[in-house]
């Protein structure tokens, strides 16, 4: 970790550390391990055999279209400082479990979702590799759980629906756990309360979408034309989620303005106003740390005011050499 030392004749200045570099190698190792485990699970799940007693089978290309549409229709919804993306991918996953062979489900999932990530979202190589490995792993785990539970019974039964629910829960938990793991490996350890809140909220949303998929399969089991009803139902659900997401963001913005205005009315000094501004910036930008440098109007001396992830306020007097050092480091880190 590099620091910039002050001149020899200057008094000791606070050391400003550069931001830690993301750790890439552990993420690549995790991605490779996920890919191996997913491939092994598929090989042990009789990859070419569809479930017994199904009226018709879904082909890989139909599932690929379904997963591609699900990724395109992703909706981002905010819950406080957390942000969750609803992709509706559990719906084609449920269809694939009940009406397709494992190899068709895996192939459709990887082809449809990867195409959107590459050509539409244009994700960088590391993020793309992790997401593809995650798609493969969570789908393989869902297949393994579902086939172990179902056996030779019909998917269109109470027992079959229970198996699909368990498979969706297993896939959702796997996805949430791997995402939290890669964030910890790449950016550092997160607080347990943050992990638990994000895990619970994301899992609840995904399982709810899985229930919608189960209802959809029940509709089309005896009549393929029920896909028309399904398309209308999913479209309405998607539009409701978009409206909810938009209203949620507006509510958060209005609440932030109201809280900031109310705080200003209680502020009694410039430091109180700066503290309030830092806290609101941290909330709006969904970051953990924020700081500001203020200059005393009487003496002209700079003071650094910072707020951490726990909301604790720290102040520190700074001399001109320290300010120059900080500016030099910021300029160095901002250069390409």
222 & 274 share domain: no
Q: Are residues 226 and 310 in the same domain?
A: no
| Same structural domain, 157 and 281 | no
Host H or E run for residue 295: strand 290-295
Q: Are 309 and 197 in a shared domain?
A: no
The answer for residues whose C-beta is within 8 angstroms of residue 35's C-beta and 6 or more apart is: 133, 136, 137
Do 231 and 309 share a domain, yes or no? Answer: no
This prediction has a pTM of 0.69
| CA-based nearest residue to 275, from 301, 323, 312 | 312
Does the residue 1 lie in any domain? no
- The answer to whether residue 20 is domain-embedded is no
Same-domain pairing of 206 and 180:
yes
Give the helix ranges, DSSP H, for 221-336: 226-266, 270-284, 320-334
Bridge partners, residue 307, by sequence = 290, 313
**What is the spatial distance between Cα 92 and Cα 314, in angstroms, rounded to a whole number?**
50
For residues 36 and 76, membership in a common domain is answered with yes
Number of folded domains that form the chain: 2
* Residue 259 belongs to a domain: no
Q: Tell me: do 171 and 194 sit in the same domain.
A: yes
Within a domain: residue 263?
no
Per residue of the chain (336 residues), what is the pLDDT tens digit? 443 334 444 444 443 444 445 578 888 999 999 999 988 887 776 666 777 677 788 899 999 999 999 888 877 766 555 556 677 888 899 999 988 988 999 999 999 999 999 999 889 999 999 999 999 999 999 999 998 888 777 788 888 888 888 999 899 889 888 887 887 776 655 555 666 666 676 677 777 788 878 888 888 887 777 777 777 777 787 787 777 777 777 777 777 777 767 766 776 666 677 777 777 776 666 666 777 777 666 666 777 777 776 667 777 776 667 667 766 765 665 554
- Let me know whether 204 and 273 are in one domain: no
Q: Which of 226, 254, 282 delimits the end of a domain?
A: 254
Is 194 part of a structural domain of the chain?
A: yes
| Host domain of residue 198 | 25-254
CA-nearest of 170, 179, 243, 177 to 207 is 170
Do residues 275 and 328 both lie within one domain?
yes
* Contact (CB, 8 A) for 57 and 228: no
- Name 84's bridge partners: 77
**Looking at the structure, do residues 91 and 169 belong to the same domain, yes or no?**
yes
Question: Which of 225, 254, 283 is the last residue before a domain boundary?
Answer: 254
Residue 8 is assigned to a structural domain of this protein:
no
**297 plus 214 within the same structural domain:** no
């Amino acid at each position: 970790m590099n620091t910039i030392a002050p001149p020899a004749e200057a008094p000791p200045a606070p050391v400003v550390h550069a931001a830690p570099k993301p750790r890439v190698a552990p993420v690549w190792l995790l991605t490779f391990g996920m890919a191996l485990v997913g491939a092994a699970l598929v090989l042990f799940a009789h990859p070419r055999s569809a479930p017994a007693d199904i009226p018709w089978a879904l082909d890989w290309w139909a599932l690929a279209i379904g997963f591609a549409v699900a990724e395109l229709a992703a909706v981002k919804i905010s819950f406080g400082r957390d942000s969750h993306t609803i992709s509706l991918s559990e719906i084609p996953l449920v269809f694939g479990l009940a009406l397709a062979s494992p190899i068709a489900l895996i192939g459709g999932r990887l082809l449809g979702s990867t195409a959107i990530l590459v050509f539409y979202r244009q994700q960088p190589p590391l993020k793309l590799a992790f997401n593809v490995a995650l798609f493969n792993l969570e789908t393989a785990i869902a297949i393994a759980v579902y086939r172990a539970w179902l056996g030779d019974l019909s998917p269109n039964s109470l027992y079959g629906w229970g198996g699909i629910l368990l498979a969706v829960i297993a896939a959702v938990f796997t996805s949430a756990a791997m995402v939290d793991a890669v964030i910890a490996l790449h950016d550092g350890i997160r607080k347990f309360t943050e992990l638990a809140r994000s895990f619970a909220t994301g899992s609840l949303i995904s399982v709810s979408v899985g229930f919608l998929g189960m209802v959809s399969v029940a509709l089309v089991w005896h009549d393929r034309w029920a896909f028309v009803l399904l398309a209308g139902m999913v479209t309405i659900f998607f539009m409701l989620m978009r409206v909810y997401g938009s209203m949620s963001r507006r509510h958060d913005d209005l609440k932030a303005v109201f809280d900031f205005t109310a705080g200003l009315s209680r502020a009694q000094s410039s430091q109180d106003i700066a503290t309030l501004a830092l806290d609101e910036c941290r909330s709006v930008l969904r970051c953990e740390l924020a700081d500001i440098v203020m200059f005393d109007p009487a003496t002209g001396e700079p003071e650094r005011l910072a707020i951490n992830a726990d909301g604790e306020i720290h102040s520190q007097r700074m001399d001109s050499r320290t300010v120059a050092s900080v500016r030099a480091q910021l300029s160095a880190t901002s250069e390409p």
